[in-house]
């Protein structure tokens, strides 16, 4: 099992300047990719270029800079459309990230079309940002929230899902991939079954888009949200896909500039899609740079990225399981490159603090999934999540680090 | 000893270590040795919730002085807690309220007090001072 077979790892690592540094005198190992990935120089340059040459407010300017900024902003919309497999750019709304996309759907579609006595289904694998917006909506409208349970391997219990579905269910919102465990959920099946009872489906794609090929039309997803910063793009920007008919029926999210057609003090008519949902000056620079991130992934090949990450996950899992007292949390058959684990008698935070001193960055804690941690009766986990620039040697550093940590805490 | 004399003493102890691991092993050792709190005192009233680990803090007065007891689930936090108790516990509420904690920075552990969300230590220091202020008013 050699790395060079799949990707040119040295070339890729050279694209990420942040990786070339020492922490506490040791070469940085960055394994917190599920929280955010590092940015390639192409993305950093796109941001720099935008501010150095093209900065202007978009859409209504008639001067050259405004034209360039608008062209590049809209070029990203087309790139995102292609990336998600959407039918039209009208279905791509720029947001500040996944959380924003979910809140948009809860506040507009949810408030307008879901009523007292109706039901919403989420799952036990959800991040807090795919729980709380629905809880807020449920509280406001008298809607019941139901939860698909998680089995011991960290997979959704689809039999219970079948039982939860009824004509009362108006919306199902689940993640495509679990951030805490890496489980890939059978979203195509979840969507088909929800549609059979007339419910719409929102997919939280935050953890999926950097690992899997997404085709919203094939999935038949009604809404799909993701964040740029988890796929080598900038922070503070993301996109929400929504089926055109649904987006058209939905009321606007925020009022302001850009989202209007005509404003009088008596009445305002709203702009057409997707601008109806993009009030105010958007995050232009980061949207422009998002395209560079998508192009970067394509330049390596998304299948190659996935294969490389799978190789790292397999190797890491094998090595981790050899550590005495270590237990993997999340052993789903289908999972992305996330290794979440606990070590008997050791608090995850102690592991994280000591690994940091050894130059290894992991995430510890509940990963914003407190109900899921409760399900496994644990305080939290240590999570190592891998990206395209990670190496076998870095996994070895983690393993050696864990042995050292165990010794120090013994 | 005054609060500052104890702080200086801790700084001197840490000056002996030139390796990060020795430093942490010392803190881990202190964490393990801290008596902590009995389960029935780990109440919701005493809890200081951090994002990653929590701290329980209890205060009572003995004579003129304020006594702190505390516990945490994570041993490194517990070691840091142990030092905070060593520095602040057993002094008058006035001394505690007016104290300035500089030893954490000096021993190179300030990052543990900077991450407000992660371990509850910042809140713990604040809470210790709040107890001192409250007891001063009594």
Residue A407 distance to chain B (closest CA, Å): 10
Give percent of chain A with pLDDT exceeding 90: 93
Question: A371-398: per-residue pLDDT in tens?
Answer: 999 999 999 999 999 999 999 999 999 9
Contacts of A364 in chain B (CB under 8 A): 52
- E strand or H helix at A120, and its extent? strand A119-123
pLDDT at A2 over 80: no
Contacts of A365 in chain B (CB under 8 A): 51-52, 118
Give percent of chain B with pLDDT exceeding 70: 96
User: Among residues 1-30 of chain A, which lie with CB inside 8 Å of chain B?
Assistant: 24
Q: Of the candidates B21, B25, B53, which has its C-beta nearest A347's C-beta?
A: B53
Report whether A178 contacts A125 (CB < 8 A): yes
Contact A354 B76 (CB under 8 A): yes
Contact B52 A348 (CB under 8 A): yes
What secondary structure does DSSP assign to A131-189, as a single string?
Answer: THHHHHHHHHHTPEEEEE-B-TTS-B-HHHHHHH--TTEEEEEEESB-TTT-BBP-HHH
Question: A37-83: per-residue pLDDT in tens?
Answer: 999 999 999 999 999 999 999 988 889 999 999 999 999 999 999 99
Name the residue among A249, A250, A269, A267 with its Cα closest to residue A259: A269
pLDDT at B117 over 70: no
Among A350, A352, A380, the residue to mutate for chain B (most B Cβ within 10 A): A350
User: Where does B3-137 sit in CATH, by number?
Assistant: 3.90.1010.10
> Among the listed ranges A207-216, A278-287, B38-47, which one has the minimum average pLDDT value?
B38-47
Question: B59-98: per-residue pLDDT in tens?
Answer: 999 999 999 999 999 999 999 999 999 999 999 999 999 9
Here the contacts of A53-61 (C-beta below 8 Å, separation 24 or greater) are: A54/A288, A55/A284, A55/A285, A57/A281, A57/A284, A58/A281, A58/A282, A58/A284, A59/A258, A59/A275
Using CA coordinates, name the residue in chain A closest to B74: A347
Contact A409 B119 (CB under 8 A): no
Contacts of B75 in chain A (CB under 8 A): 347, 350, 409
Residues of B with CB under 8 A from a CB of A: 20-21, 24-25, 28, 51-53, 73-77, 112, 118-119
Residue A348 sits at φ, ψ, to 5 deg, of: -55, -35
Contact B76 A348 (CB under 8 A): no
How far apart, in Å, are the Cα atoms of A216 and each of A84, A174, A200, A220, A240? 6, 14, 13, 6, 11
How many CA atoms lie less than 13 Å away from A105 in the CB half-sphere? 31
What's the angle, vertex CA A184, arms to CA A126 and CA A108, rounded to 5?
45
Residue A263 CB neighbours (<10 A): 12
How many CA atoms lie less than 13 Å away from A316 in the CB half-sphere? 29
Domains within chain A, CATH numbers bracketed: 3-30+301-409 (3.90.1150.10), 44-298 (3.40.640.10)
Report whether A29 contacts A389 (CB < 8 A): no
> Among the listed ranges A2-16, A114-128, A328-342, which one has the minimum average pLDDT value?
A2-16
User: Among residues 287-326 of chain A, which lie with CB inside 8 Å of chain B?
Assistant: none
Contacts of B112 in chain A (CB under 8 A): 353
Beta partners for residue A172, in sequence order? A121, A201
Contacts of B77 in chain A (CB under 8 A): 349
Report whether B65 contacts B36 (CB < 8 A): no
Contact B20 A357 (CB under 8 A): yes
Contact A364 B52 (CB under 8 A): yes
pLDDT of residue B48: 83
Q: What's the CA gap between B91 and A106, in Å, rounded?
A: 53
pLDDT of residue A3: 47
Report whether A147 contacts A121 (CB < 8 A): yes
Domain boundaries, chain B: 3-137
Q: What's the CA gap between A37 and B114, in Å, rounded?
A: 23
Q: Of the candidates A349, A366, A408, which has its C-beta nearest B119's C-beta?
A: A349
Contact B28 A408 (CB under 8 A): yes
Phi-psi region of A262 (alpha: psi -120 to 50; beta: other; left: phi over 0): beta
How far apart, in Å, are the Cα atoms of A35 and each of A10, A31, A251, B1? 23, 9, 32, 46
The ipTM (two decimal places) reads 0.90
pLDDT of residue B118: 64
Q: What's the CA gap between B2 and A406, in Å, rounded?
A: 37
Report whether A350 contacts A401 (CB < 8 A): no
pLDDT of residue B46: 86
User: Among residues 159-188 of chain A, which lie with CB inside 8 Å of chain B?
Assistant: none
Name the residue among A249, A245, A240 with its Cα closest to residue A278: A240
Q: What's the CA gap between A79 and A226, in Å, rounded?
A: 14
Name the DSSP letter for residue A251.
P
Residue A410 distance to chain B (closest CA, Å): 10
B65-72/B55-62 β-pairing: antiparallel
Among A349, A355, A363, A373, the residue to mutate for chain B (most B Cβ within 10 A): A349
Report whether A340 contacts A180 (CB < 8 A): yes
Report whether A98 contacts A206 (CB < 8 A): yes
Contacts of B20 in chain A (CB under 8 A): 24, 357
Using CA coordinates, name the residue in chain A closest to B117: A365
Helix (H, G, I), strand (E, B) or coil at A219: helix
Cis peptide before A274 (omega within 30 of 0): yes
Residue B72 distance to chain A (closest CA, Å): 10
What secondary structure does DSSP assign to A26-74, as a single string?
Answer: EE-EE-BTTT-----HHHHHHHHHIIIII----SS--SHHHHHHHHHHH
Please, what is the average pLDDT of chain A? Answer: 96
Beta partners for residue B58, in sequence order? B69
Using CA coordinates, name the residue in chain A closest to B79: A350
Beta partners for residue A174, in sequence order? A203
pLDDT at B25 over 70: yes
pLDDT of residue B54: 85
- E strand or H helix at A93, and its extent? strand A92-95
CB-based contact (8 Å) between A400 and chain B?
no
Contact B75 A380 (CB under 8 A): no
B23 in active site: no
Q: What's the CA gap between A20 and A229, in Å, rounded?
A: 20
pLDDT of residue B116: 53
How far the first Cα of chain B sits from its last, in Å, is 25
Residue B44 distance to chain A (closest CA, Å): 17
**For residue A139, what are the contacts with CB-CB under 8 A and spacing of at least 6?**
none
Q: What's the CA gap between A232 and A38, in Å, rounded?
A: 6
């Amino acid at each position: 099992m050699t790395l060079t077979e799949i990707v040119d790892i040295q070339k890729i690592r050279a694209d990420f300047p942040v990786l070339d540094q020492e922490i506490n005198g040791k070469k940085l190992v960055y394994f917190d990719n599920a929280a955010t990935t590092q940015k390639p120089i192409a993305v950093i340059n796109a941001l720099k270029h935008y501010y150095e040459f093209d900065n202007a407010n978009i859409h209504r300017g008639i001067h050259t800079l405004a034209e360039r900024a608008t062209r590049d902003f809209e070029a990203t919309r087309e790139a995102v459309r292609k990336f998600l497999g959407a039918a039209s750019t009208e279905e791509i709304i720029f947001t500040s990230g996944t959380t924003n996309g979910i809140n948009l759907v809860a506040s507009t579609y949810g408030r307008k079309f879901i009523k007292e006595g109706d039901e919403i289904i989420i799952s036990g694998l959800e991040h807090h940002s795919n729980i709380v917006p629905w809880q807020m909506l449920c509280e406001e409208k008298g809607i019941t929230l139901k939860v698909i349970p998680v089995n011991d391997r960290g997979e959704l219990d689809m039999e219970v899902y079948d039982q939860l579905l009824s004509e009362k269910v108006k919306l199902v919102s689940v993640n495509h991939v679990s951030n805490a465990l890496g489980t890939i959920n059978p979203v195509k099946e979840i969507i088909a079954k929800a549609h059979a009872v007339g419910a719409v489906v929102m997919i939280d794609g935050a953890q999926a888009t950097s690992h899997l090929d997404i085709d919203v039309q094939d999935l038949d997803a009604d809404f799909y949200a993701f964040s740029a910063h988890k796929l080598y793009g900038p922070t503070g920007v993301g996109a929400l896909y929504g089926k055109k008919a649904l987006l058209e029926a939905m009321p606007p999210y925020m009022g302001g500039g850009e989202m209007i057609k005509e404003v009088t003090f008596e009445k305002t008519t709203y702009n057409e899609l997707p601008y109806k949902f993009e009030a105010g000056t958007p995050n232009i620079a980061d949207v422009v740079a998002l395209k560079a991130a998508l192009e970067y992934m394509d330049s390596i090949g998304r299948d190659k990225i996935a294969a490389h990450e799978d190789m790292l996950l397999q190797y890491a899992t094998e090595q981790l399981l050899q550590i005495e007292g270590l237990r993997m949390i999340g052993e789903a058959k289908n999972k992305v490159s996330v290794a979440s684990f606990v070590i008997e008698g050791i608090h995850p935070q102690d592991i994280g603090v000591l690994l940091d001193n050894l130059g290894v960055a992991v995430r510890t804690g509940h990963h914003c999934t407190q109900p899921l941690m409760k399900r496994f009766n644990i305080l939290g986990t240590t999570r190592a999540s891998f990206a395209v620039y990670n190496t076998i040697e870095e996994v070895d550093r983690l393993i050696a680090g864990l042995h050292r940590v165990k010794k120090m805490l013994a | 000893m005054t609060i500052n004399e104890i702080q200086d003493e801790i700084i001197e102890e840490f000056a002996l270590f030139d390796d990060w691991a020795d430093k942490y092993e010392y803190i881990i050792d202190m964490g393990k040795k801290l008596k902590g709190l009995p389960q029935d005192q780990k109440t919701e009233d005493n809890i200081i919730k951090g994002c990653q680990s929590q701290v329980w803090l209890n205060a009572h007065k003995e004579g003129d002085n304020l006594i702190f007891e505390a516990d945490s689930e994570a041993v490194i936090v517990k070691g840091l807690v142990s030092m905070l108790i060593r520095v602040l516990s057993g002094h008058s509420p006035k001394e505690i309220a007016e104290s300035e904690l500089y030893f954490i920075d000096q021993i190179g552990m300030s990052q543990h007090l900077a991450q407000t969300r992660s371990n509850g230590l910042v809140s713990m220091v604040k809470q210790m001072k709040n107890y001192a202020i409250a007891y001063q008013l009594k």
